[in-house]
Amino acid sequence: MRDSPQIMARTKRPVTATESGAFVETIELGSIASGPLDGLNFAVKDLIDIASHKNGCGNPSWRDTHPVATANAVCVEQLLSAGARCVGKTVCDELAFSLIGENYFYGTPLNPKAPDRVPGGSSSGSASAVACGLADFALGTDTGGSVRVPASNCGIWGLRPSHGFISVAGVNPFAPTFDTVGILARSADVLARAASVLFAHEDIPRQEPMTIHLLKEAFSVADPNVRQVLNSSVQRLRNLFGGRLRETSLGEIDSQSEETDLWAWYDTFCVLQWAEIESCLGAWVAATKPAFGPETAQNFELVKNLDRRRLREAVQRREKYFQRLKLFLGPNDLICMPTTPALAPLKGTVVARGQSAAGDDYYPRMLSLTSVAGIGRLPQVSLPLAESGGVPVGLSLLAANGRDAFLLSVVKKVAAFMGT
C-alpha cells in the first residue's frame, strides 16, 4: 500500500526519504494511544509544532531566530492520541509564501508522478512524502491553496477544511483570516479518517448531494488540456449523480453582482492576504533582515508596498461574497471546479510571482480558483481523478461552511465509484 503502483512502475523500487527530498528531518514519534488511526503514519509540514523540534518554516533565518517548540501542536496531539505515528517534518516553501514548491534553501521535493515538474506548494514536502509512499497522510497548511495545489500536482487527495474548525495553535500564523490546517492523503478513506479525528465530528447520517454546481467561470480559467481531461471526470460524476450536476454561473450565485469572472475574488483575496501577512511577518522581516530566495524576497516587497487603505473596502467585498455564497449554497449542495488552472509547471520555470514560462497569469488564475474557498470559508477537497499526458490533474468539490463531514462522505462515495 505504501509503495504505490505508479511509483513502482516509474522507479522500479520505492523512493527513499532522501531521494524524495520531502523531509527536513525524519522522526520516529509513536502514537500516544490506540484509536481510529492505528497503523497509519503521517508527516508534518515544517511550520507545525512537534515538541522538542524547531519550526524552520522553510527559511534558515526563521529557524535561527525562533525557539524550540515545547509541545506538539494541537492537531499533532489529536492524531498521536488517535493511534497514528509521526514520521517526520517536511520541507515547505519559505514562510509558506508560494504555491510552487521550489525552496531556494532546501530544494524541490520530488513529484513522483511527474518528476520533471514541481510538486506545488507551500506544503510541498507533505505532498511529496505522501505521493512517494513515505507517509499515509500528512499535515499541511492552506491559506491560499497550499494543500489543494500540491495535492493536485502530485495526484493525491487534499483537504482544505472550513475555516476555524481545526485548531491552528502551534502553527505559524501567516494570514489568520484564511489560515487552515489541511490534510494530504494517499486515499479518500485515509483522508476521511484523519479528518474525522481532527474535526472530532460525531457520526453524521449519510446524505446525498442535492445539487452539484459546475462553476462555469472556474472552468473557463483553466487551460484547454486541463479542461479536456476534467470534462471526462465530470462525465463520470454524471454517471454517479445524474441530473444533480448542473452548470452554474457567478451571476446565479450573486444576482446583484457585476462580476463576470473571478478576478474580483482574486483581487479581494490578495489584498486581505497580503495585509495579514505583513501583520504577521512584517515586523520580523524588518527587524531580522532574513536571507530570502529571490521569489520570496519579491513576495515580501509586494506585501510591504500594499496600500493598506484598500483594506476596508476589501473586507467589505469579502463579506459580501461570503454572504452571497452562504445564501446560495444549501447544506447538501456542492461546487465543482478545477483545483488548478494548469498542469504543474516544469521545474525552474516560475521565476517570480506572476511571471512564468506557463504564462504571466499563472498566479492570478490559480488564486482566482483557490480564493473561492478562502473567501467563502468553504471546505474543499481536491480529488486526483485525471491526468494529462501522465501529469496529474485534480478536480475539486466544495461544500458549505461547516459541512466538512458531508463533503468527505461524498468524496468517499466518488472514490469508491471511480475505483480510486
Q: Point out the residues that are catalytic.
A: 45, 122, 146
Beta carbons within 8 Å of 62's beta carbon, 6+ residues apart: 55, 56, 95, 284, 290
Q: Are 162 and 401 in contact (CB under 8 A)?
A: yes
Sites for a second copy among residues 380-409 (CB under 8 A): none
Asked if residue 305 binds a second copy (CB under 8 A), the reply is: no
**Which range touches a second copy (CB under 8 A), out of 6-14, 61-69, 261-269, 327-335?**
61-69
Per-residue contact flags (x/-) with a second copy for residues 309 to 328, judged by CB under 8 A: x-xx--xx-xxx--x-----
How many residues of this chain bind a second copy (CB under 8 A)? 56
Closest approach of Cβ 198 to a second copy, in Å? 8
Burial of 66 (0-12, 13-18, 19+ CB in 10 A): middle
Pick from 17, 27, 32, 418 the residue near a second copy by CB under 8 A: 32
**Could you tell me where the beta strands, DSSP code E, fall in 96-235?**
137-141, 157-160, 181-185, 212-215
Of 164 and 354, nearer to a second copy (C-beta) is 164
Residue 290: CB minimum distance to a second copy, A:
12
Please report whether residue 173 would count as binding a second copy according to CB under 8 A.
yes
As to burial, measured by CB atoms within 10 angstroms (0-12 exposed, 13-18 middle, 19+ buried), residue 149 is buried
Residue 204 Cβ vs a second copy, minimum distance, rounded to whole Å: 10
Taking CB under 8 A as the criterion, the residue among 6, 11, 167, 225 binding a second copy is 167
Give all strands of the β-sheet with 85-90 in edge-to-edge order. 23-29, 85-90, 41-45, 137-141, 181-185, 157-160, 380-388, 391-399, 334-338, 212-215, 245-248
Among 34, 39, 115, 286, binds a second copy (CB under 8 A): 286
Residue with smaller CB distance to a second copy, 9 or 287: 287
Tell the burial category of 292 from Cβ atoms under 10 Å away from its Cβ (0-12, 13-18, 19+): buried
Q: Tell me, residue by residue from 62 to 81, as one string, x for binding to a second copy by CB under 8 A and - for no binding.
A: ----xxxxxxxxx--xx--x
- Give the separation between CA 407 and CA 411, rounded to whole angstroms: 6
Q: Is the distance from CB of 373 to CB of 266 less than 8 angstroms?
A: no
Q: Which is nearer to a second copy, 10 or 320 (CB)?
A: 320
- Counts of helices then strands in the chain (DSSP H, E): 15, 13
Beta bridge partners of 183: 139, 159
CB distance 192 to 420 below 8 Å: no
Euclidean distance between CA atoms 70 and 213, whole angstroms: 45
Residues 81-100 that bind a second copy (CB under 8 A): 81-82
Distance CA 148, CA 160 (A): 7
Compute the least distance from the CB of residue 318 to a second copy, in Å: 7
Interacting span for a second copy (CB under 8 A) from 21-29, 144-152, 168-176, 407-415? 168-176
Q: Is 206 in the site for a second copy (CB under 8 A)?
A: no
Closer of 331 and 390 to a second copy (Cβ) = 331
Q: Which of 5, 18, 33, 203 binds a second copy (CB under 8 A)?
A: 33
β-partners of residue 382 are: 158, 396
Would you say 378 and 384 are in contact if contact means Cβ atoms under 8 Å apart? no
Any idea what DSSP says for residue 161? P
**Quick check: 297 binds a second copy (CB under 8 A)?**
no
Find, among 338, 357, 337, the residue nearest to 347 by Cα.
Answer: 357
How many angstroms separate the CA atoms of 141 and 228, rounded?
Answer: 29
Q: Which one, 115 or 331, has the nearer CB to a second copy?
A: 331
- 363-382 residues near a second copy, rule: CB under 8 A: 377
Q: Give the x-and-dash track for 325-364 against a second copy (CB under 8 A).
A: ----------------------------------------
Task: Please list, in sequence order, all residues whose beta carbon lies within 8 angstroms of the beta carbon of residue 406, skipping any fewer than 6 positions away.
Answer: 204, 207, 331, 332, 399
- Contacting range for a second copy; rule: CB under 8 A; set: 14-22, 126-134, 197-205, 337-345: 197-205
Q: Does 176 bind a second copy (CB under 8 A)?
A: yes
Query: In terms of CB distance, is 240 or 315 closer to a second copy?
Result: 315
| Region binding a second copy by CB under 8 A among candidate stretches 1-9, 119-127, 140-148, 192-200 | 192-200
Binding site for a second copy (CB under 8 A): 32-33, 35, 49, 66-74, 77-78, 81-82, 163-164, 167-170, 173, 175-177, 197, 199-202, 272, 275-276, 278-280, 282-287, 304, 308-309, 311-312, 315-316, 318-320, 323, 377
